[in-house]
């Protein structure tokens, strides 16, 4: 198996050495070159044709955001991972980069003076993303935290979708989970939805500050409210509530409706916030009156919570593989037989509205199921 070929772009010689050093330790990865700014990166991409690029944001001559824009304008679909700082400014710039077409991001090491710890922080964040964004069938890949099966390994797995069902009184809550590729997927999904007749709660894997900026950005775009959840957040129709970084968002029943409760319980699936926590507590609060959606993301967060939802009578929809940046989270619920429909991103909004606009399913047969070529059965 040929190693994954990576180009490292950063104006800091310290960061370039740190990243190239830790990547060189992994036999599955080959660093084919480095660049000191976005302009040089464009030249090196044309020269080396890497499988993936790690890209700093703030650089002289041409910053990382403009480099991403130009690569995408040229038709390149090569994965790009941004290096971002955990600051308000860094959060805004990172979201700009994702909107420009970057695939994902990792935090830049905060203390480059401690080389050993800095390398470990970057390794833990960067390696799993590289392996997921550029899948290969490597030995023991499934044993590593956050790893997902490569497409070749998944091809033999049948996707079995459940017979669609709807609670007699209709859905009372919509919950959404996403990770890698999620910011733009969430943006696309919400852009196709009107203010909804049920509360919406969402977990996007992001650190603190990033979720606040993410919510604020979405709130400016749409005709409904999007907020980062507070300690005792009212979950009401016409509002989308996003879990803050480093906090789980739990749903609790309250006075005929629902409220969001924040906790800092142990990470689940290496994540806080975790989709499993949101889905599990939504099922506990609303029983089968929950519609859930699993969007693009690395790993399998949401799968255990989706099982709790299904057992309580709720419904699970998932984004298909063809439109997912990484088909880890949606693939996990789909191959576990928990979904009622697996659809392209642009068709999910219509299916959500169809579910929310009727108190019970009409007997017109199952909804379409599209999985990007995987075997499908309906039960």
Just list the catalytic residues. Answer: 179, 205, 301
Quick count: other Cβ atoms within 10 Å of Cβ 132? 26
Query: What is the bridge-based pairing of β-strands 341-343 and 376-378?
Result: unpaired
Task: Please provide the size of the chain in residues.
Answer: 379
Return the structure tokens found at 56: 């700093």
Nearest to 214 by CA among 176, 263, 258, 171: 176
- Please calculate the CA angle 192-106-214 and round it to the nearest 5 degrees: 35
- Long-range pairs of 256-264 with CB within 8 A, sequence gap ≥ 24: 257/199, 258/172, 258/173, 258/199, 258/285, 258/286, 259/232, 259/233, 259/234, 259/235, 260/201, 260/229, 260/230, 260/232, 260/233, 260/234, 260/235, 261/231, 261/232, 262/229, 262/230, 262/231, 262/233
CA atoms of 348 and 356, how far apart (whole Å): 12
340 and 163 Cβ atoms separated by less than 8 Å: yes
Q: Is 246 exposed, middle or buried (0-12, 13-18, 19+ CB in 10 A)?
A: middle
Q: Is 224 exposed, middle or buried (0-12, 13-18, 19+ CB in 10 A)?
A: middle
Measured in degrees and rounded to the nearest 5, phi and psi for residue 78 equal -55, 135
CA atoms of 371 and 342, how far apart (whole Å): 6
- Please calculate the CA angle 141-205-339 and round it to the nearest 5 degrees: 70
215 and 254 Cβ atoms separated by less than 8 Å: no
CA atoms of 88 and 75, how far apart (whole Å): 31
């Amino acid at each position: 198996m040929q190693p994954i070929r990576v180009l490292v772009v950063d104006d800091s010689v310290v960061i370039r050495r740190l990243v190239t050093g830790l990547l060189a330790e992994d036999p599955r990865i080959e660093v084919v070159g480095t660049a000191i700014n976005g302009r040089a990166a464009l030249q090196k991409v044309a020269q080396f044709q890497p499988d993936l690029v790690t890209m700093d944001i703030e650089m002289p001559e041409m910053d990382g955001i403009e480099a991403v824009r130009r690569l995408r304008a040229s038709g390149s679909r090569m994965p790009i991972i941004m290096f971002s700082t955990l600051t308000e400014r860094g959060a805004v710039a990172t979201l700009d980069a994702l909107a420009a077409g970057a695939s994902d991001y990792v935090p830049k090491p905060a203390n480059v003076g401690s080389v050993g710890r800095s390398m470990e922080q970057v390794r833990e964040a960067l390696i799993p993303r590289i392996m997921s964004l550029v899948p290969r069938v490597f030995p023991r890949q499934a044993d590593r935290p956050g790893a997902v099966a490569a497409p070749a390994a998944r091809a033999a797995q049948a996707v079995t979708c459940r017979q669609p069902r709807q609670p007699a009184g209709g859905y009372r809550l919509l919950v959404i989970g996403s990770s890698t590729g999620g910011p733009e997927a969430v943006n696309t999904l919400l852009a196709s939805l009107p203010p909804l007749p049920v509360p919406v709660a969402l977990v996007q894997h992001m650190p603190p500050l990033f979720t606040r900026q993410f919510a604020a950005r979405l709130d400016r775009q749409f005709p409904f409210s999007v907020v980062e959840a507070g300690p005792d957040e009212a979950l009401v129709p016409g509002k989308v509530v996003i879990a803050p970084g480093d906090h789980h968002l739990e749903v609790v029943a309250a006075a005929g409706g629902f409220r969001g409760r924040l906790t800092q319980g142990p990470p689940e699936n290496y994540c806080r916030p975790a989709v499993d926590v949101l889905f599990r507590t939504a099922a506990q609060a609303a029983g089968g009156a929950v519609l859930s959606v699993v969007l693009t993301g690395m790993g399998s967060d949401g799968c255990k919570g989706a099982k709790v939802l299904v057992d309580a009578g709720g419904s699970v929809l998932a984004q298909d593989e063809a439109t997912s940046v990484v088909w880890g989270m949606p693939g996990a619920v789909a191959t576990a037989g928990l979904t009622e429909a697996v659809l392209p991103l642009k068709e999910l909004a219509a299916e959500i509205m169809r579910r929310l606009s009727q108190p019970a399913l009409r007997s017109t047969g199952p909804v379409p199921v599209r999985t990007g070529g995987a075997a499908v059965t309906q039960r």
